[in-house]
Structure 1
Amino acid sequence: MADDRIARASMFLASGTIVSRVLGFVKAIVLAATIGVVGSASADAFAVANGLPNTVYVIVAGGVLSAVLVPQIVRASAHADGGSAYINKLLTLALVVIGAATVVATALAPVLAWIYGGRLPDSTLQLATAFAFWCMPQIFFYGLYTLLGEVLNARRSFGPFTWVPVLNNVVALAGLVVFGLAFGFDATGERPPGDWTPGMIALLAGSATLGIAAQALVLLWFWRRIGLRYRPDFRWRGVGLGAAGRMAGWTFGMLLLTTFAGIVQTNVVSLASGDDASIAAIDSAWLVFMLPHSVITVSIATAYFTRMSEHARDGKLDLVRDDLSGAIRGVSLILMLATAVLVVIAYPFAAVFQPGDLANASALGNVIIAFAIGLVGFSILFVVQRTFYALGDTRTPFVFTLVQVIVFTLAALASTLLPVEWIAVGVALSTTIATTVQLILAVVLLRRPLARLDGKRVVVSLLRDLAAVILPIAAGVGLLIALGGFRDDGFAIGSRVGAIVSMAIIGSVMAVLYLGILWLLRSPELRGFAEPVVARLRRR
């Protein structure tokens, strides 16, 4: 019964993420039609400004809140008041910190814009700075969204956290359409920075911030639905916030490490800028790579995380072990297929960005492949990391993240020895290698608190998934060749429509074959996912 609840929760979360991601891609297309994308000074300025709030938020509090909130709130729920006092105190403290960070970052908007866009022409940098003043309030609303959403997750109200980003995308899309109708669409990006008026800047950047604000504020309504009431409480002593602070400290250190790795990555791939796959290719490939992870892994892990935290609070380590095993096997079942599909359709996927040019499609496609082969390991690591968080341990994740950053840095620097056209691929492979090392170390370290892991069942499941994907890969490659996936004028490369249709055909055939083989192999994980769906269909 518990596994059925997990499966239903995971499916509901995944559906919200899918809808949000689809709208996100639509928003990206409309944004390109509104201010351009390639060779557009306006688009470059807006990209710098609109990316700053998320960067600052992640450094200040992003991972800290996700790692700390759910386990601490679950533990506090054992208190006589159900954890209400603790939630109010922790929420008040977090909002004060995030609010202060927002004020400081807004005041430093010109400095931050210069750090990230200092090589832009002066007029473009000035426009980026103007955008940044309107975008910086997003920091506070990102924090509010995470705080309110994670409390809902801890109270087993999973849906709102993944579905309300749909509202964000709808508001932002509306703002883009209004901007285009009022000031004209500029798909070629020819509007110079000097032509932007204060009203234009306020509408474009302000609507982006309004979307983030709406996404956060609507969660207050869901709080009231489950009986939560927020009352600011500045009496922070004596309620165990010291433990949360220690956990947050290690997580903050981990975020600094990953920020350093990001700086190394950007500097290495920039060596190919202007000639071959570089920063834009890495960003685009990572966006593709993260799609199955965010839809599948995050949804499944989120549904398991609260239950893990409850079992850890009660000292039921055998049940934590079962949760870990179930999450890994469920994630791997789907991500093994996703990995295979991404590897096969990498070139058509790249052609969606740059159709009709096999050289450009293969340059980006190879980066996608280099990331994709590490997808299963990356997603398992995500689950293992969340298990440490459920156990109240953020120090150990800091240790294996430090090792990952060292391995990545060395491998990325070694990539500078490659021919310039292969540097981005080398950096992507560096990420895959470093993540694999990190996963191995994390699993070894997890044996200490859990005594033993459900290793045999997990390995058997992984090998079964791997065996089931061999035939689909062969069929997918055959279809790719038949659809002209290796020719400039091929159906799969020559146009965006052809690329999308080819991906749909190849992905569908591979999925049917994979799931069919797993069903014949009597995969318990597949049957666990399928039974709630079949039961619901039978009731209809």
Structure 2
Amino acid sequence: MADDRIARASLFLASGTIVSRLLGFLKAIVLAATIGVVGSASADAFAVANGLPNTVYVIVAGGVLSAVLVPQIVRAAAHADGGSAYINKLVTLALVVIGAATVVATVLAPVLAWLYGGGFAPDTLALATAFAFWCLPQIFFYGLYTLLGEVLNARRSFGPFTWVPVLNNVVALIGLVAFGMLFGFDPAGTRAASDWTPGMIALLAGSATLGIAAQALVLFWFWRRIGLHYRPDFRWRGVGLRSAGRMAGWTFGMLLLTTFAGIVQTRVVSTASEQGASVAAIENAWLIFMLPHSVITVSIATAYFTRMSEHARDGELDRVRSDLSGAVRAVGLILMLASAVLVVVAYPFAAVFQPGNFANASALGNVIIAFAVGLVGFSILFVVQRTFYALGDTRTPFMFTLVQVVVFTVAALSCLLLPVEWIAVGVALSTTVAGTIQLGLAVLLLRPKLERLDATRVLTSLARDFAAVIVPVVAGAAIVWAFGGFAEGGFAIADRWGAILVMAITGTAMAVLYGGILWLLRSPELRGFAEPVLARLRRR
């Protein structure tokens, strides 16, 4: 029964994420049509500025809230008031901190823009700074969204957190279409940084911020629906905030490490701005990479995380271990196929953003491939990290993240020796290599905490998934080749709708082959997903 609840919660979360991510892709496509991607100074400037609020927010509170908030609220639920006093105190404290950080960051917009975009030409850096003044207020609304959403998750109201980003994407899309209608679309990215007026900057960046604000504020309505009423409470003593602070300290240190890695990444790839794949290309490739991770991994892990925290609170390590095993095997089953599909259709996928330009599509496609080969490991690492958080351990994730950052920094800086057209690919591959090393170390450090891992069953499952995906990869590559996906002027590259059609055909063929082979191999994970569906179809 518990597994059935997990499955239903994961499915509901995934459905909201799918709708949101599809709209997010539509937004990215419209943005690419508006300011370009590869070789566009405007796109690189906006990518840096619009990424700053998320980066600063994550440093201040993002991962800290995710790592600390749910386990602490689960524990506080044992209080006589069901945790209401704790929630009010923690939310008030967090909003004060995040609000102050927002003001400081906005004032420091020129410094932050230079920190990340210092490799840009002067006009491009000035444009990034102007965008940053409009984008940085997003920090507060990112914080509000995470706070309200994580409290809902801890109360087992999972849907709103994943569905309200739909509103954000709708608002941002309206802003992009309005910009294109008023100032013209520029898919080739030929608009010079010096051509931007204050009105153009305000509309593009301001609508992005308005979307983030809308997705945060609407969550107050969902709070009221489940009986929560926020009342500011500045009396921050007496509800265990000191223990939350100790946990948050290590997470804060981990986020500083990853932020440093982010600065290295942006500074390295910015050296290729206006010459090839650069900041905007990395951002779009990461968006594509994150689609299956967000839809599958985050949905499964979010549903498991609350239950893991409850089992860890009760000292039931065998159940935590079972949760971890189930989550990893479920993630591996689907993400193995997703990773393979992304590698095979990378060029057509890139052509959705850069249609009719094989050079730009292949440049973006190579970055997608370099990220995609690490998708399974990245997603399993996400589950493993959440297991540490459920156990109340944020120190160990800091340690293995430190190793990852050192490896990535060395590898990324060495990419400056590559030809300019391969710098972004090298940086993406550095991310994959460093993340794989981080996963191996994380698993080694988790084993003593759970006494043992369900290693045989997990490794058997992953090996079976890998074996099953080999034939689909060969077949998928043949389909893309037949449609001209690897050549100038090919059907899969020349037109956006042609690229989407080829992706759909290839993905469907690979999924059918993968599912059929796994069924023949008697995959218990696949049968666990499929048999309830088949049973319902038979009843009908």
Q: Which interval holds the TM-score relative to the shorter structure?
A: over 0.9
Deviation for aligned residue 1:365: 2.6
Secondary structure of 1:485's counterpart equals coil
Query: Which blocks of at least 5 consecutive residues in structure 1 are unaligned?
Result: none
1:45-64 aligned at under 5 Å gives the runs: 45-64=45-64
Cα deviation 1:451-474 (Å, max 9, x = unaligned): 011111111111111121122112
Deviation for aligned residue 1:130: 4.1
Relative to 1, partners in 2 of residues 1:171 and 1:537: Cα closer, same or farther, differing over 3 Å?
Answer: farther
Relative to 1, partners in 2 of residues 1:46 and 1:354: Cα closer, same or farther, differing over 3 Å?
Answer: closer
1:56-75 aligned at under 5 Å gives the runs: 56-75=56-75
Deviation for aligned residue 1:490: 2.2
Q: Is the 8 A contact 2:312 2:391 kept in 1?
A: yes
Q: Is 1:387 aligned with 2:397?
A: no
TM-score, normalisation: structure 2: 0.93
Q: Is 1:236 aligned with 2:239?
A: no
Q: Distance in 1 between matches of 2:122 and 2:414?
A: 34
Q: Is the 8 A contact 1:7 1:528 kept in 2?
A: no
Q: Is the 8 A contact 1:42 1:189 kept in 2?
A: yes
Q: Give the aligned residue type for 2:299.
A: S
Q: Distance in 2 between matches of 1:188 and 1:424?
A: 19
% identical equivalent positions: 83
Q: Give the aligned residue type for 1:387.
A: T
Deviation for aligned residue 1:5: 1.5
Matched residue, 2:217: 217
Deviation for aligned residue 1:127: 4.8
Q: Distance in 2 between matches of 1:190 and 1:360?
A: 14
Matched residue, 1:173: 173
Matched residue, 2:343: 343
Q: Distance in 2 between matches of 1:502 and 1:44?
A: 29
Matched residue, 1:506: 506
Deviation for aligned residue 1:161: 0.4
Q: Give the aligned residue type for 1:31.
A: L
Relative to 1, partners in 2 of residues 1:425 and 1:44: Cα closer, same or farther, differing over 3 Å?
Answer: closer
213-222 vs 127-136, greater mean Cα deviation: 127-136
Q: Is the 8 A contact 2:95 2:144 kept in 1?
A: yes
Matched residue, 2:517: 517
Q: Distance in 2 between matches of 1:41 and 1:508?
A: 37
Q: Give the aligned residue type for 1:206.
A: G
Matched residue, 1:488: 488
Q: Is the 8 A contact 2:41 2:274 kept in 1?
A: no
Deviation for aligned residue 1:381: 0.6
Q: Distance in 2 between matches of 1:204 and 1:364?
A: 23
Deviation for aligned residue 1:338: 0.8
Secondary structure of 1:7's counterpart equals helix
Matched residue, 2:313: 313
Q: Give the aligned residue type for 1:7.
A: A
1:253-402 aligned at under 5 Å gives the runs: 253-402=253-402
Deviation for aligned residue 1:367: 2.7
252-261 vs 475-484, greater mean Cα deviation: 475-484
Deviation for aligned residue 1:229: 1.2
Q: Distance in 2 between matches of 1:274 and 1:35?
A: 13
Secondary structure of 2:231's counterpart equals coil
Q: Distance in 1 between matches of 2:421 and 2:188?
A: 27
Q: Is 1:79 aligned with 2:72?
A: no
Q: Is the 8 A contact 2:347 2:362 kept in 1?
A: yes
Relative to 1, partners in 2 of residues 1:351 and 1:30: Cα closer, same or farther, differing over 3 Å?
Answer: closer
Aligned CA RMSD, in angstroms, stands at: 2.5
Matched residue, 2:407: 407
Q: Give the aligned residue type for 1:342.
A: L
48-57 vs 128-137, greater mean Cα deviation: 128-137
490-499 vs 367-376, greater mean Cα deviation: 490-499
Q: Distance in 2 between matches of 1:505 and 1:190?
A: 33
Matched residue, 2:103: 103
Deviation for aligned residue 1:222: 0.9
Q: Give the aligned residue type for 2:323.
A: D
Q: Is the 8 A contact 1:4 1:528 kept in 2?
A: no
106-115 vs 80-89, greater mean Cα deviation: 106-115
Q: Distance in 2 between matches of 1:50 and 1:277?
A: 18
Relative to 1, partners in 2 of residues 1:222 and 1:427: Cα closer, same or farther, differing over 3 Å?
Answer: same
Q: Is the 8 A contact 2:257 2:405 kept in 1?
A: yes
Relative to 1, partners in 2 of residues 1:537 and 1:85: Cα closer, same or farther, differing over 3 Å?
Answer: farther
Deviation for aligned residue 1:187: 5.4
Deviation for aligned residue 1:54: 1.5
Cα deviation 1:295-325 (Å, max 9, x = unaligned): 1111111111111011111111110000000
